[in-house]
Structure 1
Amino acid sequence: MKKQIILYTVCLAAMMSSCHIYKSYDRPEVDTQGLYRDPVSDNDTLASDTTNMGNLPWEQVFTDPQLQALIRLGLEQNTDLQSAIQNVKAAEAGLMSARLAYAPSLAIAPQGGVSHLEGSKRSWTYTLPISASWEVDLFGKLLNSKRGAKVALLQSKAYKQAVQTQVIATIANCYYTLLMLDKQLAITEETSIIWDKSIETMRSMKEAGMVNEAAIVQSEANSYMIKASIPDLKQQIRETENSLSLVLKEAPQKIKRGTLEEQKLPEVLNSGVPIQLLANRPDVKAAEMSLAGAYYSTNQARSAFYPQISITGTLGWTNSVTGMPIFDVPKMIMSALGTLTQPLFYRGANLAKLKTAKAQQEIAALNFQQSILNAGSEVSNALYQYQAANEKTIQREKQINSLEKSVEYTQQLLTLGTSTYLEVLTAQQSLLSAQLSGISDEFQRIQAVVNLYHALGGGRTE
């Protein structure tokens, strides 16, 4: 008999080990080689850096004091971030509950009563029991529940970090958008004033017979076109301020800010080695924790096929036996019971739950892999955006310099009578368009830095 018990125990242990009920989650193999594309070559992948820009504190990336004040306010008040913080607290409570499941549950249920028979005295009976119940976790049900609660906490923390990085990037992009619009508005208003002066000059030249009325009318039409674009720019500024106020959880208001020329951002952008995305990107970390949680849910579904063992006991005092009082002095009562519950008629339901858990685990694995690819794509896009913006800025500066000279020359020629008003109008319109595009190019370069910092998980720590 003893040999049979030993044999059953060995078989049971082998069966449990083959089902991996007690095995902890292991990260799957992920190929991150060549995850980033080189911004210059279409065929080569980006060489790995020894550092990662995403590890820099956000204060070192965004040095504008007014922008820093806005980011701090957003980190304190943003609704999405505050909700993520509450999710972390809820996950912490869930982990505490899973850990306490290992401890016995205690309960006290005092009972009392009075009975009276005709011709006899009233008799009082009472029972003061303290009962305890303890589930023996031989098949990993509680263990996998605790591990699942732990990774759920890690996932909620990673999600909170992801929201935090998004808040920082959103505030920075809105702030720099305002600076871009401010400069475009200033140039447009300045051009409008210059154009008005040109019209006055043309009117004087008309009196001298140098230009005709058509030139003045055409110039006035272009002046009105420039003036009409000013309300659009002001509307964009107002809407961007309102959007930023919402991110800050503030009523729509004017945003205090600096100028585009004052901004200083890192010139050297280090993306780090691709494997660092697994540690730095909060959304990748959250996706992996989701996979780990699905793994432990599958283990829990497996444990449902095995018996559930529980031990219950009662300790207390009573002055009644079989419901009738016999002594006034209370007597101690004790009881202990062990139960083993083996599912017999729930196998189909348990099997369906296991299949569902496995399918959800496969979905989580696919999402994890896709999150890494998404991260690499975002980093590649930001690197190329920065490279393209730099190249455009160089060429745009040359274009603006040439157009400034063109405006100056055509105005001089018009005064001398060797140029037409159409050439002057064309040169002035081309210059304004190039100046506005140059501001947009500078904004795109700054935006690329913000996007790369966000893509590398920058700002994830306090």
Structure 2
Amino acid sequence: MSKIKYIITTLICITAIFSCKIGQKYEPVEMVDMPDTFDTRGMGEGSTADIGWSTLYSDTILLELISKTLEHNQDVLIATARINEMAANNRISFANLFPHLGGEVAGQKEYLNYGGDSRKYSPELRANLNVSWEVDIWGKLRWANDAAIAAYMQSVDARQALQLTLISQVAQNYFELKALDREFEIVKQTVEARREGVRFAKLRYEGGLTSEIPYRQSLVELARTETLIPRLENELKLKENDLFVLAGEFPSGTIKRGEGFDPKKLPLGLPIDLPSSLLKRRPDMLQAEQKLIQANANVGIAYTDMFPSLNLIGRLGGENTELANFLSSPTWFVSGILTGPIFNMGKNKAKHNAAKAAYEQEVYSYEKAVLGVFKEVNNAIITFQKMREVRQTNEALYTSARSYHELAKLQYINGLVSYLDVLDAERQLFDAEIALNKANLEDLTSLVTLYKALGGGIIK
């Protein structure tokens, strides 16, 4: 009974010591003079994260592409494997907090012959249950476990940030593909109009109504417009290949198209959350904070390395020279080893200082990331508002250019203006149509950028 009391008392003392955890507890970084709100510019308040990407983007083909990308993109698969790796590493760090139990069964026969005339055989059979435990007196193993948890959470947040980026990339590439489709359609329509212009100019020239110059000018305009077709065909194929690879597929065939290219079908604005809430929701900011937590834990590990460590070792089993008497030959062994640094030229102190400097770097990196978020969100809000204005002015420009073109054609047929006036009207109409198509694309992509900046896109 005295041995049992001794063991119980020892375990109680060890547990009391085990509860000690020295080092600086992590405290969130407080940003000085951080604005309370973003420059919302008339947009409502709320959380964009509550708007899933399947709600924001209504094009079924785009939704299908995003789903494929989130499931098959190689970067997502790499990030998922990384999460599994960090989860296993976290399990290892957690297991180090507890005693390790192992077994040993061995049999051996040793031959000895000292001096050449003293032969002796020394057999031995043993079976032991071994226990080893590094007692976490100062909290080193718990700091290591905190660091492992932070590393695991970084991998989770990194995958979410990657998913958010991929959703934005797929949406932007798809809108760019649709814009190229529209531009290609405009060019083909213009080519047909140019061919009709050549036919009409030729008839007037051959009929003696005009000189050869208008006819030759119409041929030049036709040839100039036709040079745009192969360039656009190349850009279309390259953009399709980009989407195939994003979705984890080999570039082959064509990407299906969905609904028409109309930015008016998308929301007029998005709810803008408070900065403090956004920083706690954006995956990249969560990842940056987990880096801080890991760096702080590494400081704790380096600090506790300057103090002694206690290792307990125990063995219980049987040992004998013969199998017959094995069960009646118990053995046990208990050992406690206290080790610690005495003199190492300040190596442990330098490690602690290095860990503190690394933590300081992460603090500055986090502050830089916060500033970057403010810039990104404010830029996205401004761009979103201005691209709407640009689209509206380009719509007005296109309407005016179309009226001017129709009037010039009518007056040319009636002989009131020259063919140069018609060509000028056609060029202005073509440029206005291309500019409106570009403005529509910029309007769409500005919404994609704002959605990503506000941390939306994770919820389907």
Q: Normalization by structure 2: what TM-score?
A: 0.89
CA distance in 1 between counterparts of 2:207 and 2:121 reads: 130
Does structure 1 residue 315 correspond to structure 2 residue 316? yes
Alignment-derived partner of residue 268 in structure 1: 269
Choose the corresponding residue for 2:48, options 49, 53, 58: 53
1:375-432: CA deviation from partner (whole Å, max 9, x where unpaired): 2222222212221111111111111111111111112222222211111111100110
Shift of residue 120, structure 1, vs aligned partner: 9.7
Q: Which amino acid aligns with 1:203?
A: K
* 1:96-111 alignment runs, 5 A limit: 96-111=91-106
Deviation at 1:353? Answer: 1.3
Q: TM-score, normalised by structure 1?
A: 0.89
- Aligned match of 1:220: 219
- Give the whole-Å Cα distance in 2 for the aligned partners of 1:348 and 1:123: 49
Aligned to 1:455, which of 429, 440, 453? 453
**Which is further off, 95-104 or 328-337?**
328-337
Kindly report which structure 2 residues correspond to 1:408-419, keeping only aligned pairs within 5 A, or say none: 408-419=406-417
Superposed counterparts of 1:191-340, under 5 Å: 191-253=190-252, 254-261=254-261, 264-320=265-321, 330-340=328-338
Contact 1:188–1:226 (Cα < 8 Å) also in 2: yes
The letter of the residue matching 1:24 is K
Cα distance, 1:455 vs structure 2: 1.0
Give the aligned residue type for 1:173: Q
- Mapped contact 2:62–2:174 kept (Cα < 8 A): yes
Assess, with a 3 A threshold, how the Cα gap between structure 1 residues 425 and 168 changes in structure 2: closer, same or farther. Answer: same
| Contact 2:194–2:222 (Cα < 8 Å) also in 1 | yes
Q: Shift in Å at residue 216 of structure 1?
A: 1.1
- Assess, with a 3 A threshold, how the Cα gap between structure 1 residues 347 and 133 changes in structure 2: closer, same or farther: farther
1:6 is matched with none
> How big is the shift at 1:36?
3.2
Query: Post-superposition shift, 1:346?
Result: 3.0
Cα distance, 1:126 vs structure 2: 1.1
| Residue 377 (structure 2) aligns with | 379
Aligned residue in 2 for 1:173: 172
Asked if 2 retains the 8 angstrom alpha-carbon contact of 1:36 and 1:377, the reply is no
Q: Which residue is equivalent to 2:4?
A: none
Identity level (%): 27
Asked if the contact 2:50–2:459 (Cα under 8 Å) also holds between the matched residues in 1, the reply is: no
Q: 1:210 to 1:380 in 2, by over 3 A?
A: farther
Q: How many residues align?
A: 436
The superposition leaves residues 314-348 of structure 1 with CA deviations (integer Å, 9 ceiling, x where unpaired) of 1110115xxx9996664111111111112112352
SS across alignment from 1:243: helix
Higher mean Cα deviation, 285-294 or 377-386? 377-386
SS at match of 1:352: helix
Deviation at 1:166, TM superposition (A): 0.8
Contact 1:385 1:444 in 2 (8 A): no
Q: How does 1:416-455 map to 2 (within 5 A)?
A: 416-455=414-453
Residue 66 of structure 2 corresponds to 71
CA spacing shift, 1:260–1:385, aligned 2, 3 Å: farther
Structure 1: 5+ residue stretches without partners: 1-8, 40-45
Amino acid at match of 2:270: L
Question: Superposed, which structure 2 residues align to 1:149-168 within 5 Å?
Answer: 149-168=148-167
Amino acid at match of 2:356: K
Asked if the contact 1:176/1:260 (under 8 Å) is kept, the reply is no
Check 1:425–1:34 CA distance in 2 against 1; reply closer, same or farther (3 A cut). farther
Unaligned runs of 5+ in 2: 1-12
CA offsets, 1:43-88, max 9 Å, x none?
xxx88x5312233111101111111111110011001111111111
Supply the distance in 2 between the matched residues of 1:437 and 1:310 (Cα, whole angstroms): 74
More displaced 10-residue stretch of structure 1: 258-267 or 185-194: 258-267
SS in 2 for 1:336: strand
CA gap of 1:116–1:160, structure 2 versus 1, over 3 A, is: closer
CA deviations on 1:278-323 (whole Å, 9 max, x unpaired) are 1221111111101110000011000001110111111110115xxx
- RMSD (Å), alpha carbons: 2.5
d(CA) in 2 for partners of 1:192, 1:384: 37
1:10-21 pair list within 5 angstroms: 20-21=22-23
2-side partners of 1:123 and 1:335: how far apart? 22
- CA–CA distance in structure 2, aligned partners of residues 130 and 271 of structure 1: 62
Contact 1:54 1:271 in 2 (8 A): no
How much does 1:456 deviate?
1.3
Pairing partner for 1:360 from 358, 361, 367: 358
Question: Structure 1 residues 312, 426: CA separation in 2 closer, same or farther (over 3 Å shift)?
Answer: same
Deviation at 1:210, TM superposition (A): 2.9
The change in CA–CA distance for 1:451 and 1:266 in structure 2 (over 3 A counts) is same
Q: Please tell me whether the aligned partners of residues 109 and 130 of structure 1 are also in contact (alpha carbons under 8 angstroms).
A: yes
Deviation at 1:122, TM superposition (A): 6.4
The 1-side partners of 2:101 and 2:53 are apart by 50
User: Is 1:92 matched with 2:87?
Assistant: yes
Give the residue type in structure 2 aligned to 1:417: G
Tell me, yes or no, if the aligned pair for 1:302 and 1:354 is still in contact at 8 Å: yes
Distance in structure 2 (CA, Å) of the matches to 1:211 and 1:395:
38
Give the aligned residue type for 2:449.
N
Where in structure 1 do 4 or more consecutive aligned residues deviate above 4 Å?
A: 115-123, 324-329
**Could you tell me whether the CA contact under 8 Å between 1:180 and 1:260 is conserved in 2?**
no
Measured at CA, do residues 167 and 160 of structure 1 come closer, stay the same or move farther in structure 2, by a change above 3 Å? same
